[in-house]
């Protein structure tokens, strides 16, 4: 007997997207805070990296881990109970990095500017476009800082923007692998988006480090 990835799911795609819709309904009108966060990021996205920006990302990881995985997703997927602490660990790493002396170091911005904007745009727009292109309700859309996939991509945008320490990459990369496997099992045509964002971010980090080291 052979097994496929879908055989390990404990829920149907319909159940999953209905869960997200109920999750957004539970949180409304907290979603309006996204506009405030985006405004802060646009104003504060300068050198040195404002601790406020990093702490906002840390808060989003902690929130997604607790609200999405632990309280909302875990009742239909037991592994989510174990994913929630991993998201909390990433939040802690971001906080520690924000207050360390060389947590985020600035290099030549030209190398990273375009990749940063690309990943930020993907985090904000791609989840909404994927929902519009599917038969899922718009209320089931992924939203940055509230659901894991766009939050992971937005974090890669932050990590690409500055010479971020490598310790901040493993958990988002693992999260992107989990996202890809989950969406693939649910036969979503967008299963490649978050893993590809991870590969892109790691490539940008490696390339920028090599160029900046040569310049020094």
Residue 1 within a domain: no
Domain of 149 in residue numbering reads as 9-215
Write out the DSSP string of 98-158: HHSTTSSB---HHHHHHHHHHHHHHHHHHHHHHHHTSSS-GGG---TTTSHHHHHHHHHHH
Mean pLDDT of 141-155: 93
Q: How many domains does the chain have?
A: 1
Residue 3's pLDDT band (cuts 50, 70, 90): very low
pTM greater than the 0.85 cutoff: yes
The string of pLDDT tens digits covering residues 167-208 is 999 999 999 999 999 999 998 899 999 999 999 999 998 888
The string of pLDDT tens digits covering residues 28-56 is 888 777 767 666 666 655 544 567 788 88
Residue 52 within a domain: yes
Residue 4 within a domain: no
Q: What is residue 130's predicted lDDT score, i.e. its pLDDT? A: 84
Q: Which residues pair with 105 in a beta bridge?
A: 163
Mean pLDDT of 5-20: 80
Q: Answer with the residue of higher pLDDT: 111 or 159.
A: 159
Cis peptide before 29 (omega within 30 of 0): yes
Radius of gyration for the alpha carbons in the chain, expressed in angstroms and rounded: 17
Whole-angstrom Cα distance, residue 193 to residue 189?
9
Structure tokens at 14: 């319909």
Q: What is residue 146's predicted lDDT score, i.e. its pLDDT? A: 93
Q: What is residue 216's predicted lDDT score, i.e. its pLDDT? A: 57
Residue 120 within a domain: yes
Whole-angstrom Cα distance, residue 152 to residue 47?
22
Write the CB contacts of 41 (distance below 8 Å, at least 6 apart in sequence). Answer: 53, 56
Residue 2 within a domain: no
Q: What is residue 169's predicted lDDT score, i.e. its pLDDT? A: 97
The string of pLDDT tens digits covering residues 66-123 is 999 999 999 999 999 999 999 999 999 999 988 887 666 665 566 778 888 899 899 9
């Amino acid at each position: 007997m052979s097994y496929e990835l879908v055989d390990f799911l404990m829920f149907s795609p319909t159940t999953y997207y209905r869960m997200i819709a109920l999750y957004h309904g539970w949180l409304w009108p907290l979603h309006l805070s996204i506009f405030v966060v985006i405004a802060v990021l646009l104003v504060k996205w300068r050198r040195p990296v404002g601790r406020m920006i990093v702490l906002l990302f840390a808060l989003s990881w902690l929130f997604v881990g607790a609200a999405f995985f632990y309280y909302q997703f875990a009742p239909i997927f037991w592994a989510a109970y174990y994913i929630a602490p991993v998201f909390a660990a990433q939040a802690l790493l971001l906080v520690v990095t924000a207050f360390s002396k060389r947590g985020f170091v600035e290099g030549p911005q030209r190398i990273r500017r375009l990749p940063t904007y690309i990943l930020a745009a993907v985090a904000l727009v791609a989840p909404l476009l994927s929902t519009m292109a599917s038969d899922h309700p718009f209320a089931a859309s992924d939203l940055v800082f509230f659901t894991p996939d766009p939050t992971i991509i937005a974090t890669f945008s932050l990590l690409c923007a500055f010479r971020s320490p490598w310790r901040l990459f493993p958990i988002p990369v693992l999260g992107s692998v989990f996202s890809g496997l989950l969406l693939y099992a649910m036969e979503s045509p967008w299963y490649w988006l978050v893993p590809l964002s991870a590969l892109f971010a790691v490539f940008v980090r490696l390339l920028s480090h090599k160029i900046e080291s040569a310049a020094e």
